[in-house]
A and B are shown apart, each in its own frame.
Chain A
Amino acid sequence: MRDGKGASRAPVLRFTNCRILRGRRLLREDLWVREGRILDPEKLFFEERLVADQQRDCGGCLLAPGFIDVQINGGFGVDFSQATEDVGSGVALVAQRILSHGVTSFCPTLVTSPPEVYHKVLPQIPVKSGGPHGAGVLGVHLEGPFISREKRGAHPEAYLRSFEANAFHDVLATYGSLDNVRIVTLAPELGRSHEVIRALTARGICVSLGHSVADLQVAEEAVQSGATFITHLFNAMLPFHHRDPGIVGLLTSDRLPPGRHIFYGMISDGIHTNPAALRIAHRAHPQGLVLVTDAVPALGLGNGRHTLGQQEVEVDGLTAYVAGTKTLSGSIAPMDVCIRHFLQATGCSVESALEAASLHPAQLLGLEKLKGTLDFGADADFVMLDDSLHVQATYISGELVWQAEEARQ
């Protein structure tokens, strides 16, 4: 039924026969979209006196906000930390391929690298809206080089740095421009970290604590200075100790600024974190849990041996090993696999599992009005899932950008 006036008016889409995640619950409701945003149908009915122009039957599927991955180092053979002449194509390839995982926005992550790499790569990864070409780039996540030597993990020792000398100026000199940067992971025990944290926060950059040997007090002070995230909880930090919980203790700390809580990333591939540890963290502080893939270039390459830069990697199912060894070589579980595993390991509700991959990362980045939610006015980035949380279709700005083979008729 079309309203006679204004044929040039933007069409209203109505997704029907579905359940949507809204207000922390799964509701039996239709999803209305216009001009790439979620629309309030009651307002449309009573104020504009209009009906939908097109209807889409979702076949009883679940509609969840598009997933947001704030830590992904590459995939499909692409390594974001590699300084090539055309970093843009690599980012675009990954952006396009992760649509099938339900990811509609992400933060390409760079590991510890020499300044030349940052100067060359960062300008080539601008913030970009998503669309049929791929998931949106929210900004770069810089993991290092201002991290602890002891807890560097796989990061190259030669390129670790400190900012003791010139604090924020050292940071700027290392990275070059901060224009496209969204998150910086650093170790708060490094000298003058408070100045750096405050300067970064003042520029709207999210500061995350990770690859660190900080104790709880140092970590709390860092949060008081503005840090809001913990990079892959449990990994690359001091283990929880009952007399000094370390960074892990931030989950239940009572010394955080009032009204604020800490967010923490977790890799829920069933390999990098023991399910019991996943459950302890989730039960201690469910509101702060952010699912990340921390995926490496071997993501999506399929079983077998692959050459990635200087490394030979052996992929077997969801595990990647350094070829010929049993040493883990990073995670390769796609985001939707992480969500399903998280649901099964913690026994949490479907709503919680979906929020950990959408609402929480959006809140971390202060984007929850537009991303990670299906509230009225938000960007129409969403995923169509079946009851077992397998991605059937992905939409960005209300446009279908990926569809599963079976769903294609």
Chain B
Amino acid sequence: MGRGSSYKVRANILSTVVTRIPFVSIRHREVGQNTMKLIILDHYSQASEWAAKYIRNRIIQFHPGPDKYFTLGLPTGSTPLGCYKKLIEYYKNGDLSFKYVKTFNMDEYVGLPREHPESYHSFMWNNFFKHIDIHPENTHILDGNAADLQAECDAFEEKIQAAGGIELFVGGIGPDGHIAFNEPGSSLVSRTRVKTLAMDTILANARFFDGDLAKVPTMALTVGVGTVMDAREVMILITGAHKAFALYKAIEEGVNHMWTVSAFQQHPRTVFVCDEDATLELKVKTVKYFKGLMLVHNKLVDPLYSIKEKETEKSQSSKKPYSD
């Protein structure tokens, strides 16, 4: 990443590169160019909206169809709620459809009945699936009540393979830096498996179980770090001051199995989307550098595409995606 070089210079180089290739779409520009982007917005709502716009553009520009599904990895928890709300809004306005989208959730508790209000099945149904036009057969969530848990995990990996791999895996980060339920100490090449939850995670989840630690499940099925690393692109949502230290460990320190999100520094295409509060533990220099790149990064969400505008695709090629 060359942290020694001035961020201003880098920003200028990038914008020069960009104006020299006026007719190439964003996707083509990215091929062969490994990137780690840190997108910083002022507030949670703006971070959620940016992430939702990014997902929307990615799906629409992929041109999904009956023979070409867009495979999306999805998280649960309070962080992605704002993003889900915006995606639902886009669907309700007719700008986005999930008809040709396949989803794979990251994790699910073991032993919690599927209909329990705190199960991840319930979360996805109430916060996303019931509001959009996705077909149930295109959704995949690990079954924490399967008779053979490891077989369930292996089958999940196979389903991902059968779907052609994940195009974009959206995830969150725990206060202990974990991705999905890959707790500190997890293997960075792990696959989908059964995990015992760390105390930090159980404490963080207690608020969903009436604050009663005894009620929180202690085991979960989770995709591995390796599973998410296989995705063609990864987007991590990190908001709130309580996640700031984990973000610091993920971005400014090395790749470390004690902070499993740091593994994505070695992923060819990662986007971290966060709000101001989540950057509280980062160096001022880092924050300024990435904020300076927002002009460029915002081109990923502007123009914002819509399925309503079929003509946009045709006129796109005559329109420069980036202004001078």
Contacts and interface: CB of A to CB of B under 8 A. Distances in A.
A51 B99 CA distance: 12
A30 B129 CA distance: 13
Interface in B84-132: 99, 114-115, 121-122, 125-126, 129-130
A43 B113 CA distance: 12
Interface in A28-45: 30, 40-45
B125 A46 contact: yes
B115 A42 contact: yes
Interface in B192-206: none
A42 B136 contact: no
Contact of B129 (A1, A45, A48, A50): A45
A46 B121 CA distance: 8
A10 to B, nearest CB: 17
A49 B125 contact: no
Contact of B133 (A1, A40, A41, A50): A1
Contact of B130 (A30, A48, A49, A50): A30
Contacts of B121: 42, 46
Interface residues of B, number: 15
B137 interface: yes
A42 B135 contact: no
Contacts of A40: 115
A45 B115 contact: no
A286 B11 CA distance: 68
B143 to A, nearest CB: 9
A50 B121 CA distance: 15
Nearest to A40: B115
A45 B136 contact: yes
Contacts of B130: 30, 41-42, 45
B115 A49 contact: no
B115 A51 contact: no
Interface residues of A, number: 14
Contacts of A49: 136-137
B136 A50 contact: yes
A244 to B, nearest CB: 46
Contacts of B135: 1, 51
Interface in B136-158: 136-137, 139, 141
Nearest to B137: A49
Contacts of B129: 45
A43 B136 contact: no
A41 B121 CA distance: 12
Contacts of A45: 125, 129-130, 136, 139
A48 B136 CA distance: 9
Contacts of A41: 125, 130
Contacts of A3: 137
A257 B202 CA distance: 44
A333 to B, nearest CB: 39
Contacts of B125: 41-42, 45-46
Which of A43, A46, A48, A50 gathers most chain B CB within 10 Å? A46
A274 B296 CA distance: 72
B92 to A, nearest CB: 11
Nearest to B138: A49
Contacts of A43: 115
A364 to B, nearest CB: 29
28 contacts: A1-B99, A1-B133, A3-B137, A30-B130, A40-B115, A41-B125, A42-B115, A42-B121, A42-B122, A42-B125, A42-B126, A44-B136, A45-B125, A45-B129, A45-B130, A45-B136, A45-B139, A46-B114, A46-B121, A46-B125, A46-B136, A46-B141, A48-B136, A49-B136, A49-B137, A50-B136, A51-B135, A51-B136
9 A-B pairs with least C-beta separation:
A49-B136, A45-B136, A42-B125, A49-B137, A1-B135, A46-B121, A45-B125, A46-B114, A51-B135
Interface of B: 99, 114-115, 121-122, 125-126, 129-130, 133, 135-137, 139, 141
Given A45-B139, A46-B121, A51-B135, 17 more contacts: A1-B135, A3-B137, A30-B130, A40-B115, A41-B130, A42-B121, A42-B122, A42-B125, A42-B126, A42-B130, A43-B115, A44-B136, A45-B130, A46-B114, A49-B137, A50-B136, A51-B136
